[in-house]
């Protein structure tokens, strides 16, 4: 089904590509992949400054960018949580049953690496606590 607008159709295609790639990494359904993407982006976003988050958001497809900014409270960022355990615990809060947080993080970082500018991702990595940045590098 086409929207009749090429820019919207292209964004739907790209968003579906992201969801399919998350499904491949996690073994999740497309619905579960959406929740992995949504939760992963929120947990990642909340660990960055407003400026860093805006730079990453500029790399995202329009629909994914909307998910990224959903419920965003810039004044509450970046969070003070610095450990990998805290990152994974926050990620686990809204993940579908059966999806391990470490696997969800790996899927998120894999998709970002496939679709975003490497220079921008280097800035994201540098903004993350060391152990979380290591998980990003390993993806």
pLDDT at 47: 94
pLDDT tens digits along 14-51: 999 999 999 999 999 999 999 999 999 999 999 999 99
Largest CA distance in the chain: 46
- Domains present along the chain, CATH in parentheses: 6-138 (1.10.490.110)
Q: In whole angstroms, give the CA distance from residue 97 to residue 90.
A: 15
3-state SS, residue 61: coil
Question: Which ranges of 1-129 does DSSP label H, i.e. alpha helix?
Answer: 6-26, 30-45, 50-57, 62-69, 84-92, 101-115, 118-127
- pLDDT of residue 2 exceeding 90: no
pLDDT tens digits along 88-139: 999 999 999 999 999 999 999 999 999 999 999 999 999 998 999 999 999 9
| Distances in whole angstroms, Cα of residue 17 to Cα of each of 33, 37, 81, 97 | 11, 12, 31, 23
* Residues near 26 by beta carbon (within 8 Å), at least 6 away in sequence: 32, 33, 36, 99, 103, 104, 107
Residues in the chain: 139
pLDDT at 1: 64
Q: In whole angstroms, give the CA distance from residue 110 to residue 25.
A: 8
């Amino acid at each position: 089904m086409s929207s009749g607008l090429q820019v919207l159709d292209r964004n739907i295609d790209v968003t579906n590509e992201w969801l399919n790639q998350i499904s491949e990494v996690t073994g999740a359904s497309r619905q579960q992949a959406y929740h992995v993407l949504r939760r992963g982006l929120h947990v990642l976003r909340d660990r960055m400054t407003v400026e860093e988050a805006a730079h990453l958001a500029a790399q995202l497809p329009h629909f994914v960018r909307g998910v990224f900014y959903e419920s965003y409270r810039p004044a509450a960022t970046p969070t003070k949580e610095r450990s990998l355990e805290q990152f994974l615990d926050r990620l686990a809060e809204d993940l579908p049953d059966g999806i391990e947080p470490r696997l969800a993080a790996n899927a998120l970082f894999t998709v970002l690496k496939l679709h975003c500018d490497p220079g921008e991702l280097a800035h994201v990595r540098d903004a993350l606590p060391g152990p979380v940045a290591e998980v990003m590098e390993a993806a």
